[in-house]
Amino acid sequence: MDPATRIRRAHTFDAIAELYDRGRREIPGHILDDLFAQAGLDPSSTRILEIGCGTGQATLPLARRGCQIVCVEMGANLAGIARRNLAGFPRVTVDTARFEDWHPAGLSFDIVFAATSWHWLDPQLRYAKAAQVLRPAGVLAFTAGGHVFPPGFDPFFAEIQNCYKAIGEARLEWPPPAPEEMPDAREEIEHSGYFEKPSVTRRIRVDEFTADEYVAMMSTASDHRLMQPAKREQLFAEMRRLIHARPGGRIRKHSLTILHLARKKG
């Protein structure tokens, strides 16, 4: 996306920080299992810089594993809730700053980690800044991915496309690409010149949502935050109608997480 859109969308989350805290779920534990196994590190002796922690969706599971964590979160409201959620973990601190402007005060890190936030960073600066704060041979790790539609996906997501079209907000190509066709960032990592041996791990998880849970989550999506309020409410009303009509009143959503790992050169 263009820089103006990227910055505008990245700032939407802080305005709805409490809603974000309620609507976003924790990172799956198997992603962190993959992270530490591939990095070859013991969580209890690992110092992590987490970029864009939100209200702690990845931070809390990392803290429970005993990591020492410095979080950098540009949203003051999000950072405040993260501090509240993480108050029981003295090895975790939360700084309010843009990662691009943040100063490490002499610290270096074993891992720089960004869970679903790497794409919000300035692409001209993010690799250089990550390399700057990592120790020699330290690990850059970030996740990408999103909603995917493998065979047998929930038909709700085909049905709701009619409402997106009706309000003039159709976004998905239909039928959407298969999960294995979703691009990764290995080439971009290599071209940065700061990291080597990039690896990618793909995992699909399935989450169930009630109507209220799904609308709460979609209420935190940056593109939906920028919709005209009347359009957004029409869309959410249709989501609720369709989900309430389902047996059991629940839907299943498939999400792909692409975990990228690479080591700092030298």
Over residues 180-205, the pLDDT tens digits come to 989 999 999 999 999 999 999 999 99
What pTM was estimated for this model as a whole? 0.94
Look at residue 175 and tell me whether its pLDDT is greater than 90: no
Give the rounded distance of the alpha carbon of 88 from its chain centre: 23
Nearest by Cα to 37 from 107, 111, 135: 111
Look at residue 172 and tell me whether its pLDDT is greater than 80: no
Q: Which of 60-69, 143-152, 173-182 has the lowest mean pLDDT?
A: 173-182
Average pLDDT in the chain: 95
**195-210/109-114 β-pairing:** unpaired
Q: Which pLDDT band, with edges at 50, 70 and 90, does 176 fall under?
A: confident
Q: pLDDT by residue (tens digit) across 73-101?
A: 999 999 999 999 999 999 999 999 999 99
Residue 3's pLDDT is what?
87
Q: Strand, coil or helix: what is 176? A: coil
Report how far residue 39's alpha carbon sits from residue 138's, in angstroms, rounded to the nearest whole number.
9
What value does the mean pLDDT take over residues 220-231? 95
Report how far residue 157's alpha carbon sits from residue 104's, in angstroms, rounded to the nearest whole number.
43
Q: Which pLDDT band, with edges at 50, 70 and 90, does 217 fall under?
A: very high
Residue 56's pLDDT is what?
98
Residues 6+ apart with CB under 8 A from 121: 51, 52, 99, 100, 114
Q: Contact at 8 Å (CB) between 60 and 81?
A: no
What value does the mean pLDDT take over residues 2-14? 91
Q: Which of 1-5, 49-53, 232-236 has the lowest mean pLDDT?
A: 1-5
What value does the mean pLDDT take over residues 43-58? 98
Compute CA distances 109 → 14, 45, 47, 252, whole Å: 26, 11, 5, 38
**68-73/195-210 β-pairing:** unpaired
Q: Which pLDDT band, with edges at 50, 70 and 90, does 177 fall under?
A: confident
Look at residue 106 and tell me whether its pLDDT is greater than 80: yes
Report how far residue 63's alpha carbon sits from residue 55's, in angstroms, rounded to the nearest whole number.
13
Q: Strand, coil or helix: what is 104? A: coil
